[in-house]
């Protein structure tokens, strides 16, 4: 298997997160990874989230019975060596689009109260975050903690984080930050290098 990295960009169309995610993904590609960059906000069913029907836990198969594009996305995840969540901080947490993907991961888990199994067990993960505030006032610490619980839940490996604070909330203002491209390129290279 080659180096396959899935980037899930959860910000708005052409927004800050998307601007940075594009550079990171391109750099990872130039460093030998096969990359896929998707916009979570464009997926059919993204706003629905997980409805908690628990049908995924009553079936022997992994997957989500909602059968939409978010369900298709989670089923694709095992094919990748690394999953990179690219997210803006909204009200001190993941935004809706990020949660719309993350909550559906229930479909990729079987847990009977004792035994846990998942095709995502041991997966590599990484995080790209943008926020309007900074390290101390944005809420990035809460988001980061939630992400780390997620990685631990899958007995995964955290492969790195890139954080852009003080992002202008206007459309993709981060693209005008002179330091963004070099930081994003370096991060993309680092991610690709972490897959053998
Ligand atoms: C509804 C909303 C809530 C936000 N909440 C926060 C927040 O809690 N902390 C923060 O630092 N920035 C917050 N921001 C600013 C965004 O995190 C920041 O502008 C981010 O880069 C937007 O990413 P995007 O352009 O990819 O959508 C918020 C923006 C919006 C629209």
The pLDDT mean for the chain works out to 96
Q: Rounded to an integer, what distance in angstroms lies between the CA atom of residue 73 and that of residue 63?
A: 10
In angstroms and rounded to an integer, the radius of gyration of the C-alpha atoms of the chain is 16
The predicted pLDDT at position 172 comes to: 78
Cβ neighbours around 4 below 10 Å, total = 15
DSSP designation for 119: T
The predicted pLDDT at position 113 comes to: 87
For the chain, give the percent of residues with pLDDT over 70. Answer: 99
- pLDDT (tens digit per residue) in 44-92: 999 999 999 999 999 999 999 999 999 999 999 999 999 999 999 999 9
Query: Residue 126 pLDDT > 90, yes or no?
Result: yes
The predicted pLDDT at position 160 comes to: 98
The predicted pLDDT at position 169 comes to: 81
CATH architecture assignment, domain 4-193: 3-Layer(aba) Sandwich (3.40)
The answer to whether the CB of 91 is under 6 A from ligand 1 is yes
Q: Rounded to an integer, what distance in angstroms lies between the CA atom of residue 142 and that of residue 159?
A: 19
In contact, 184 and 162? CB cutoff 8 Å: yes
Domain ranges of the chain: 4-193
Average pLDDT, integer, range 9-16: 95
Mutation test residue for ligand 1: of 87, 169, 177, the one with most atoms within 8 Å of CB? 169
The answer to whether the CB of 11 is under 6 A from ligand 1 is yes
Residue 170 Cα to ligand 1 midpoint, Å, equals: 10
Average pLDDT, integer, range 170-185: 90
- pLDDT (tens digit per residue) in 134-162: 999 999 999 999 999 999 999 999 999 99
The predicted pLDDT at position 63 comes to: 97
Query: Residue 2 pLDDT > 80, yes or no?
Result: no
Measured CA distances, 6 to 77, 127, 131, 163 (Å): 8, 12, 22, 18
For the chain, give the percent of residues with pLDDT over 90. Answer: 92
The predicted pLDDT at position 171 comes to: 74
């Amino acid at each position: 298997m080659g180096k396959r990295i899935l980037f899930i960009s959860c910000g708005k169309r052409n927004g800050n997160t998307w601007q940075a995610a594009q550079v990171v993904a391109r750099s990872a590609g130039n460093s030998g990874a096969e990359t896929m960059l998707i916009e979570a906000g464009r997926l059919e069913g993204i706003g629905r989230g997980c409805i908690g029907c628990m049908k995924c836990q009553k079936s022997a198969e992994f997957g989500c019975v909602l059968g939409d594009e978010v369900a298709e996305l989670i089923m694709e995840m095992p094919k990748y060596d690394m999953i990179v969540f690219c997210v803006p901080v909204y009200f001190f947490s993941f935004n809706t689009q990020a949660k719309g993907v993350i909550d559906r991961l229930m479909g990729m888990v079987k847990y009977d109260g004792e035994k846990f199994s998942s095709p995502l067990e041991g997966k590599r993960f990484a995080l790209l975050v943008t926020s309007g505030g900074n390290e101390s006032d944005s809420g990035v610490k809460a988001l980061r903690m939630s992400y780390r619980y997620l990685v631990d839940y899958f007995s995964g490996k955290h492969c790195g984080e890139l954080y852009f604070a003080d992002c202008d909330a206007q459309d993709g203002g981060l693209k005008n930050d002179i330091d963004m491209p070099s930081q994003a390129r370096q991060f993309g290279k680092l991610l690709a290098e972490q897959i053998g």
